[in-house]
A and B are shown apart, each in its own frame.
Chain A
Amino acid sequence: MRYVLLILLTMVAVVFGIAGLRGHLSRKPPVEIIPDMNRQFKLRPEAADNFFANDHTSQLPPPGTIPRSRPIQTLSGPVYPYEDAPVNTGFITGTTNFVATNPLPVTPALLQQGREQFEIFCTPCHGALGDGNGITKKLGVMPSVANLHDPRIVDMADGEIFNTITHGKNLMGAYGPTVPVQDRWAIIAYVRALQLSWLGSTNDLPPDLRAALK
């Protein structure tokens, strides 16, 4: 009996020694003990697969096709993403002049959306206040970051800001591929609100609030 116990204990120690505890860090891919239908013969996004010529599962739409989409509700009615309209391009239709004001109705909800998106995509460099004092400035890793309260940007047409976000400018990268059109206009609306918060004076307040301040 003693020997049986000893053998058993040795085996337990060996298994434990080799397999270790739950949760230990391992470089080896997980073993699927009962693989069954875990991995199916289907394409999953962003995977390598030789079904398409370029060996990716995620493909760009073929040239000339238009993605199924819903229209964007603008001040001048619904606009589809393929239309040549200010909301899609930042230009006044048929010209190369920037549209002066936001084509989307500026509502509290849009400003809130703009704030959220601004804080995701813009604050790392431009800072939460838009003054160009983001974390990159604090670490001194970027030579120049625009201060969004600069008169040059305050006076800029909304369409030009849209164009800058979409295609980038100087060292700033293009955010068109990652930030959808509505979010870009929401960011612009929020940037305008930020600018107002710096440019405003007590004279902008309604009389009763102004009296309360004094």
Chain B
Amino acid sequence: MPVIFPKWTNQLPFLIAAGLALAGGAVTAGVTYYFTPKYSRVGYEPIQPVPFSHAVHAGQLGMDCRYCHTTVEKSWFSNIPSASTCMNCHNQVLKDDPRLALVRESATNGVPIPWVQIHRVPDYVYFNHSVHVRRGISCVECHGRVDQMDEVHHVQSLTMAFCLNCHRDPAAFIRPESKVTDLGWQWNTNADVAAEMQATNGVKFVHDWRVQSLQNCSACHR
């Protein structure tokens, strides 16, 4: 009479367990790696209706961020400039360029340019731009080197962990208020000296400006 369970079946429970562990591990690794804004949001680079280059305007021409984003210091919301702001220069510069047709049209008839929003936190997050830029947190901390981007893309994950990373230790990120829109600014070209100056001045700024960097839920969620 042949055996019902040949000898190799002794290994079967082990094989099944090993297989499940491997598959489970792969799925866990996949979810950890992919199911996060670090994957889903970072690198988002939509095609904008007008091929506006921040690298040219903020980088090459050295224009301040606040020339266009005027409300960033006063409001929770950082505005997109109206077409009339563009026309302050583009009534003369590239005034017949076809790439700017939509801007001229918008400035004439008042229909907004349908810019595509890139950075957008969930609606239950009440992020306030003004309180950050008025207390020495630079644009670059969340938006990256926009002054080097021809087309803007999403650089940081803007997850809650990202926010808390700074809220737990603002002294490591805070900088002089006048350098907030100077995206490439450093304390010193020597990284060690810069780190030391950041450490000493950071603590000082946090104390002097009474930076609270709240970590309670209702600071951001209400």
Contacts and interface: CB of A to CB of B under 8 A. Distances in A.
Contacts of B26: 8, 11-12
Chain A: number of interface residues, binned into ranges:
35 or more
Given A22-B33, A37-B124, A173-B88, A135 B44 contact: no
B23 to A, nearest CB: 7
A135 B178 CA distance: 21
Chain B interface mostly: loop
A178 B85 contact: yes
Contact of A4 (B22, B63, B64, B91): B22
A40 B41 contact: no
Interface string A1-42: 100110010011001000100111111111111000111101
A174 to B, nearest CB: 8
A32 B67 contact: no
B80 interface: yes
B40 A32 contact: yes
Chain B: number of interface residues, binned into ranges:
35 or more
B41 A177 contact: no
Nearest to A38: B122
B93 A142 contact: yes
Contact of A40 (B35, B77, B81, B123): B123
Interface string A23-65: 1111111111100011110101110100000001000000000
Contacts of B81: 178
Contact of B92 (A19, A124, A141): A141
Contacts of A44: 123
A135 B58 CA distance: 12
Interface in B30-76: 30, 33-35, 37-47, 61-64, 66-67, 70
B165 interface: no
